[in-house]
Amino acid sequence: MESKIYAGSTAGTFVSYSNSKMKISQNWLKEFTEITHSPEEIISHLNASLAEIEDYYDYENLYTGIIVGKITGLKPHPNADKLQVATVTTGEHTHTIVCGASNISVDDYVPVALPGTYLSEIDLKIESRDLRGVTSEGMLCSPKELGISDDHSGILILNDEPHVRVGEYFSTLVKAHDIVYEIENKALTHRPDTFSHLGIAREFSAIFGTKFSPSKADTKTKITISETHPHLSVRIENETLCRRYTAAVIENVTVKPSPLWLQQGLKSVGVRPINNVVDITNFVMLELGQPLHAFDKAKLTGEEIIIRTATEKEHLTTIDGKNRELDPSMLVIADEKEAIAIAGVMGGIDTEISKDTTTIVLESANFEHYNNRKTSRTLGLQTDASIRFSKNQDPNNTLPAITRALELLAELTEGTVSDTIIDQYPTPREIQTIEITADYIMNRIGDPSLTSEKEIISTLKKLAIDVTKNKDHLVLRVPSFRPDLTIKADIVEEIARLKGYDNITLTLPKRDLTPVSPNDAVLWKRAIADYCARLGYSEVYNYSFVGKDLYTLCNVESLLTIPLANPISPDRAFMRPQLLPQLIENINTNRKNFDHAAIFELEKRFHSVTDDLPQEITSLALARYEKHQPHAFLEIKGAVEALVNQLHIADVTFTQPTDDHPLINLFSQKRVAEVLISGESAGILGELAPAIEIELGFEGAVGIAELNADLLFHFTDSKRAYSPVSIHPELVMDISCLVDRNLSLDMLKNSIERSTSELLTSARILESLTDAAKFGEDRKSVTIRLVFQSPVRSLSKADTANDLQNVKTILQENFGAEIRS
Amino acid sequence: MNLEELTKELAVIQDEILTKIKASEAIPQLNDIKVAYLSKKGPLKDLQTKLPTLKPEEKITFGQKINAAKSTIQSAYDKRQEELHLQEVNLRKDKNWIDVTIPGKKISIGHLHPITQLRREAENIFMNMGFEIVEPRSIDTDYNVFEALNIPVGHPARDMWDTFWTTNGYIPITHTSAMQHTILKEHDLPVRAIVPGRCFRQEATDATHEHTFYQIEGVYVDKNITLSDLIGTLKTFLSAFYDRDVQLRIQPSYFPFVEPGLEIMIDCAICKGKEGYCSTCRGKRWIELVPAGPIHPNVLTMAGIDPNEYSGFAWGMGLDRLVMIKYGIEDLRWFHSGDLRFLQQF
């Protein structure tokens, strides 16, 4: 499951930070519903019933002190060639203002910053001041100085703004007073309708119980809908991927900057104004959720729009200037000749709107969401359009959106809107019906006092769900913009979230008294970790991902067999086949701060299996470092022996591993032993290979071990038998002998124990010495301590004579030993 | 010998012994003196053997004298023994002087990783509440990680997870929910299980983001399990884990395998809602901790459970987050540093 905090997942590699946030303007919401609550109340309610509001911005003080003025007089500055002196009226007052720009004339409406105003964009406080002998009582502002755009070529001229009036606050003129909320929209992946101001306003009215009036977005223009058009035809080749295509032609448009209110509206929700045509398409998308696209009709070849899949290796340069290679899984919009847009993702640069455009084709279409998402991901191109289409937009929204856009285009581009709209809608979306009862809803929530049938019906109606009663059943007809509502559980959610989850009375499930069956593997791993800690080893966690460099340094790179397709970095490119190389790294990290370090890790390692999931083995790795010791073999072996002893694993032997052991290169050749349990290889231990020590610059000794913890579990014996402690004295005898140098002392000891009576309680190896001069090249001197004890009586030497003789015989006959004493 | 001579000799022997006792310098030497004079072959025993040669009344007198001498010697011995004992104690006392303020000898103790420690705490609480522990695979199939959780190929919700893939198409699990389908399919109903495990997401690592992290999944399926049961269960756990009456706040969220999706937050115990910046809750006063929800009917159906008869809930809480909050750890990267300066603090 997903949680923003624990996975820290906000910034993915593909979905950018800003793409998971959506800005919503309160002014815009007010077009559709009443808002009287404070931002704090609004945030708290939206958080509880819709999605997290990450933040909000109050633009109340934007453009404070800027007033619309009119130039009533203009003359050259007496002392400076490049300056002019303007007389500006702001209604009751007239101001003398010195200005360096040359694009102003008498009767122009201009933004005036009066003394006392602070312009945050350029960090300037306006004061009355002397400019070469003339006192300037303020400043006329350029778009850049106001933060409207980067344009600093002249003063912002307001003559074309609708309803411009002398003395008006500039912020009122551009409708700047606003509160903008930032919504975390990851939680709205299933709610295509909320990717619009209209949708959020509908939610708002359901949450606060305010009136909802969507009609403000309705158009008054009379239009005819047809499948054909005199100068344009549309052909949908793939009706699965293109569910609807609606288009219109607008002639005689004038492409120019949008009026400031529109620019300001887009800017406040984070969209960059471009020109009136593009701004209108964005505006309608932000308002209604339907992405639109405008083509320059003059740049199209022929008069047919074809919606088809891309051909093999078809290329298109998108409006961001990138040439993109397409594949046949992708849907494109094409003219007779070639692709002109990637459907629902981005348009092509060749047909984009420019200042010379006079006739446009406006597209309002609906594309299948899975395919749209796949295309967007494959191309690494996520846009405002693809964000919306990939959530499964409502095909019934194309007409309201295009008519709204046509109305704005007629008004702001002076274009001639054709009265025929082409609309191809092969399979209209069906209305979903859900039958449910109020009792069902209450039972699923588990709090009968939370709500009532009456309240449920009124809440659902607020969400535009049509409710009729059929006896005790409610029959719900779900609007097409709510594809997320298909089953009863979806309706339970609507009621629960709108009532607020925090208001539900809590309960606990009822269950019987049957005890939980313990997970032996889990408890046993706890025991292993505890024993390791008792032995002085501290637990480390290392990544399950490793890199080639480390494994090459350890001469075990051939073990890397499970590469990741999309690693985070080269040093995390493979699933780890062993734990030890990383423990060696850990030792290297810690030796800077410690003269002694002992660590262990108990985690999974991975081994590839043909045509199946990798094998996962729980591995136990141990490492210890002693700066001031020459050796660590006996220490690491002692730890392993203590561990297997604690785990009650019988028949553990140690032997020289063969040269093809996968981990052999990690170890010093003469100081490595394979761990066998009942003859099965369970791990390896020893001292670190000198080559690695030298490479890492280690001093002192490093002992390492890696064991198959699953195998330890398999062989562990949880039954613990008690043996009484004898009160009678022990009889101790040492035997020294010369044996073959490669003889396994485990084997020797086991043979002795097997061939003696129960009076022998232990046979322990005291020492094993080599000395070529004294014992010969291929022999070693071994001293064995035999301990005899009886549970019932004191023993005399005579009691042990038989056993002692047996031991000597075995040593001589089975192992060719030469008894020394 | 007559009484007089014997008495004289007794006095000589007594003086001799007393002198030796006084001169003795150690307890073993003192004991040797005592043994030598009082033993069967010692001089006092020797005198006693001469008793039969005396007259009856003299026997009594001399016997008394010998006893008096023995008593004197014993007293001298006792006194000297005490002196010597004291002398030795004093000697050791001086010899044993140590600067008690120097630190003790350093003993290496092994430490368990803080995540291991708190995972066990959480596991124990859940076991007491009736949940069994199930371990997840670390690498699993697309089916278990996504499809069986109602997230088909191409589903837009897949964008919510930044998924690693092995070159042959398997997934280092993005969430412990990958075990849900297996548990629901293979365990007898009712099912109560938690799945603690290591998870992976393809994102760059910094102080608050990790590609490797830890979750505890929970699954509960029985008849008549409700939304209020889910919230009640998690509040019970969190209050036990933090040992206080934890306050919850719940936000709607979206995960395709639950319906509805919830984000459960707890009140920040670090700043307790006081003014000022808090690095734990980032000034929000609430900490997002457990995404959860009633199991989606499609998930039950896919596991062969009839959603009309059974219902349930599931959650996936972030273990790293629990540990960070508990200890005030500011940087996630310490967890996989292998640095003993960090690990030895737990």
Note the pLDDT of residue A12: 22
Residues of A in Cβ contact (< 8 Å) with B113:
539-541
How far are the Cα atoms of A122, A558, A684, A711, B198 from residue A662, in angstroms, in the given order? 67, 9, 10, 17, 26
Structure tokens that stand for A284 in this block = 């309608």
Report the alpha-carbon distance of residue A540 to residue B111 in Å, rounded: 9
Active site residue B258: yes
For residue B214, the distance in angstroms to the closest alpha carbon of chain A comes to 9
Is A187 in Cβ contact with B251 (below 8 Å)?
Answer: yes
- Measured at the alpha carbon of residue A179, what is the angle toward residues A175 and A184, in degrees to the nearest 5? 130
**pLDDT value of position A667:** 96
CA B227 to CA B182: how far, in whole Å? 23
A139 with A109, same domain: the answer is yes
Q: Percent of chain A at pLDDT above 70?
A: 97
Do A80 and A36 belong to one domain? no
CATH of the domain at A306: 3.50.40.10
pLDDT value for B211: 94
Contact (CB<8Å) B338/A504:
no
Query: Of the candidates B226, B232, B231, which has an alpha carbon nearest to the alpha carbon of residue B310?
Result: B226
Strands (E) across A368-481 are located at 416-417, 420-424, 432-436, 466-470, 473-478
3-state helix, strand, coil in chain A (%, to 5): 30, 30, 40
The pLDDT assigned to A219 comes to: 63
What value does the mean pLDDT take over residues B254-260?
Answer: 93
* Residue A12 domain-assigned (yes or no): no
pLDDT digits (tens, 9 = 90+) for B314-346: 999 999 988 988 888 888 999 999 999 999 999
pLDDT for the residue A218: 64
Residue given tokens 């008054």 in the structure block: A220
DSSP B169: S
CA distance A48 to B262: 10
CB contacts < 8 A, A to B, total 317
List the structure tokens of A414. Answer: 């002076």
Q: Are residues A572 and A613 in the same domain?
A: yes
Residue A144 lies in a domain: yes
pLDDT on residue A220: 63
DSSP B41-67: TSHHHHHHTTGGGS-HHHHHHHHHHHH
**Which residues of chain B does A607 touch, with a Cβ-Cβ cutoff of 8 Å?**
none
pLDDT of residue A175: 83
pLDDT (0 to 100) of residue B280: 74
**Which H/E stretch holds residue A119?**
strand A118-119
Q: Is residue A4 part of a domain?
A: no
Instruction: State how far the Cα of A215 lies from the Cα of A288, in Å rounded to an integer.
Output: 12
Task: Pick the range with the lowest mean pLDDT from A11-25, A92-106, B109-123, B229-243.
Answer: A11-25
Residue B62 near residue B51, CB atoms below 8 Å: yes
Query: How many residues does the structure list for chain A?
Result: 821
Contact B110 A47 (CB under 8 A): no
Domains identified in chain A, total number: 6
Confirm whether B215 is a catalytic residue.
Answer: yes
- Cα three-residue angle A330-A333-A338, rounded to 5 degrees: 95
Residue range(s) defining the domain that contains residue A747: 731-819
Nearest CA in chain A to B166: A564
Q: Read off the pLDDT of each residue in A256-269 and give the average, rounded to a whole number.
A: 90
The C-alpha atoms of residue A1 and residue A234 are separated, in whole angstroms, by: 44
What is the rounded average pLDDT of the residues A760-771? 90
Dist CA A529 CA A602 (whole Å): 7
Contact yes or no for A575 and B228 at CB 8 A: no
User: Cβ contacts of residue B168 below 8 Å, gap of 6+?
Assistant: none
Question: Is A141 in contact with A119 (CB distance < 8 Å)?
Answer: yes
For strands A574-575 and A596-609, give the pairing: unpaired
DSSP output for A173-219: HTT---EEEEEEGGGGTT-GGGSSHHHHHHHHHHHHT--B-GGGG--
A611 in any annotated domain: yes
Report pLDDT digits (tens) over A789-819: 998 999 998 999 999 999 999 999 989 899 9
Query: Among B145, B180, B215, B221, which one carries the catalytic annotation?
Result: B215
Q: A447 to chain B: which residues are within 8 Å by CB?
A: 226-228
Catalytic position from the list B178, B191, B246, B258: B258
pLDDT number for residue A332: 97
DSSP SS3 for B220: strand
Ligand-binding annotation for B259, yes or no, is: yes
Contacts of A594 in chain B (CB under 8 A): 340
Confidence of residue A221 (pLDDT cuts 50, 70, 90): low
List of chain A residues whose C-beta atoms are within 8 Å of the C-beta of residue B108: 536, 596, 598
Nearest residue of B to residue A51, measured between CA atoms: B252
pLDDT of A3 above 50: no
Strand residues in chain B grouped as ranges (E): 132-133, 139-140, 171-172, 191-200, 212-222, 248-253, 261-267, 286-294, 311-318
CA pair distance A449, A426, nearest whole angstrom: 47
What are the tens digits of pLDDT across the range A338-377? 999 999 999 999 999 999 999 999 999 999 999 999 999 8
Q: Is A7's pLDDT higher than 50? A: no
Question: In chain B, which residue's Cα lies nearest the Cα of A391?
Answer: B156
| Rounded distance between C-alpha atoms, residue A338 and residue A376, angstroms | 20
- Please report the pLDDT score of residue A529 as a whole number: 97
In terms of Cβ atoms closer than 10 Å to its own Cβ (0-12, 13-18, 19+), residue A430 is: exposed
Residues A72 and A38 in one domain: no
A115: its two tokens: 């003394």
B341 is catalytic: no
- d(CA A163, CA B245) in angstroms, rounded, equals 59
In whole angstroms, give the CA distance from residue A554 to residue A695. Answer: 9
Of B165, B175, B291, the CB nearest to A564: B165
- Bridge partners (DSSP) of residue B288 are B265
Top pLDDT among B273 and B140 is at B140
- Inform me whether the C-beta atom of residue A821 falls under 8 Å from chain B C-beta atoms: no
State the catalytic residue, choosing from B111, B201, B211, B333: B201
Distance from CA of A12 to the nearest CA of B (A): 6
Contact by Cβ (8 Å): B176, B199: yes
Q: How confident is the model at residue A14 (pLDDT cuts 50, 70, 90)?
A: very low
pLDDT digits (tens, 9 = 90+) for A423-450: 999 999 989 999 999 999 999 999 989 9
> How far A800 CA lies from chain B's nearest CA (Å)?
39
Out of A2, A596, A613, closest to residue B108 by CB: A596
CA dihedral of B116, B118, B121, B127, whole degrees rounded to 10: -70
What phi and psi values does residue A523 have, to the nearest 5 degrees? -65, -35
pLDDT band at A153 (very low <50, low <70, confident <90, very high): confident
| Inter-chain touch B232–A506, beta carbons under 8 Å | yes
DSSP tag of A422: E
When mean pLDDT is compared across A640-644, B25-29, B147-151, B259-263, the lowest value belongs to B25-29
In a shared domain, residues A261 and A377: yes
Same domain, A561 and A697: yes
Distance CA A303, CA A286 (A): 29
Q: What is the C-alpha separation between B305 and B259, in angstroms, rounded?
A: 16
CA distance A371 to A345: 11
Q: What is the mean pLDDT of chain B?
A: 90
In this predicted structure, the answer to whether residue A498 has a pLDDT above a threshold of 50 is: yes
- Type of residue found at A462: K
Q: Are residues A662 and A791 in the same domain?
A: no
Q: How far apart are the first and last CA of chain B?
A: 87
**CB-side neighbour CA atoms (13 Å) of B345:** 10
The alpha-carbon gap from A384 to the nearest alpha carbon of chain B, in Å, equals 15
- Residue A614 has its nearest CB partner, among B170, B199, B294, at B170
> Measured between beta carbons, which residues in chain B are less than 8 angstroms from residue A532?
110
A590 to B338: CB separation less than 8 angstroms, yes or no? yes
CATH number, domain containing residue A105: 2.40.50.140
d(CA A311, CA A328) in angstroms, rounded, equals 5
Contact state of A493 with B260 under an 8 Å Cβ cutoff: yes
Q: Do residues A695 and A553 make contact, with C-beta atoms less than 8 angstroms apart?
A: yes
Distance from CA of A577 to the nearest CA of B (A): 13
Interface of A with B in 190-209 (CB under 8 A): 190-191
CA-CA distance, B234 to B247, in Å (whole number)? 11
Q: Which residues of A touch B344 (CB under 8 A)?
A: 538
pLDDT, tens digit, 9 for 90 and up, residues A526-566: 999 999 999 999 999 999 999 999 999 999 999 999 999 99
Question: Do A205 and A302 fall within a single domain?
Answer: no
Among candidate residues B157, B161, B211, B333, the one labeled active-site is B161
In a domain, A91, yes or no: yes
- Contact yes or no for A519 and B177 at CB 8 A: no
| Nearest beta carbon to residue B291 from set A3, A544, A593 | A3
Average pLDDT value for residue range B119-128: 96
Stronger pLDDT, A9 or B55, i.e. the higher one: B55
Six-digit token string for A199: 């949708």
Residue with more model confidence, A197 or A753: A197
Looking at the structure, do residues A81 and A48 belong to the same domain, yes or no? Answer: no
Q: Which residue of B has its CA nearest to A2?
A: B291
Q: Edge to edge, what strands does the sheet with A179-184 contain?
A: A21-25, A179-184, A53-58
Which of A469, A503, A537 corresponds to the end of one domain? Answer: A503
Q: How many residues does chain B have?
A: 346
Q: Greater confidence, A318 or B162?
A: A318
ipTM: 0.84
A438 and A545, same domain (yes or no): no
Annotated active-site residue B161? The verdict is yes
Q: Which of B314, B321, B323, B334 is catalytic?
A: B314
Same domain, A746 and A613: no
Residue A1 lies in a domain: no
A496 to chain B: which residues are within 8 Å by CB? 227, 260
A515 located within any domain? no
Q: Which of A476, A503, A530 is the last residue of a domain?
A: A503
Tell me, yes or no, if A584 comes closer than 8 A to chain B by beta carbon: no
**Two tokens at A155?**
């003063």
B130 contacts A373? CB cut-off 8 A:
no
Quick check: A68 pLDDT over 80?
Answer: yes
Provide the pLDDT for residue A13.
Answer: 23
Looking at A242-395, which runs of residues are DSSP E strands? 242-251, 292-296, 304-309, 315-317, 323-325, 331-334, 339-342, 346-347, 360-367
Residue A216: pLDDT over 90? no
DSSP string, A595-611: SEEEEEEEEEEEEEETT
Residue A521's Cβ-count burial label (10 Å; 0-12, 13-18, 19+) is middle
User: Is the pLDDT confidence value at B310 over 90?
Assistant: yes
Q: Among A217, A247, A271, where does a domain finish? A: A217
Please give the DSSP secondary-structure letter assigned to residue A368. Answer: -
CATH number, domain with residue A197: 3.30.56.10
Cα A278 to Cα A255: distance, rounded to the nearest angstrom: 9
Instruction: Please answer yes or no on whether B297 and A489 come within 8 Å at the CB atom.
Output: yes
Cross-chain residue pair B212–A493, CB shorter than 8 Å? no
Nearest to B260 among A390, A496, A539 (CB): A496
Give yes or no: residues A194 and A135 share one domain. no
pLDDT, residue A15, reads 28
pLDDT-based confidence at A217, cuts 50/70/90?
low
**Residue A11 located in a structural domain:** no
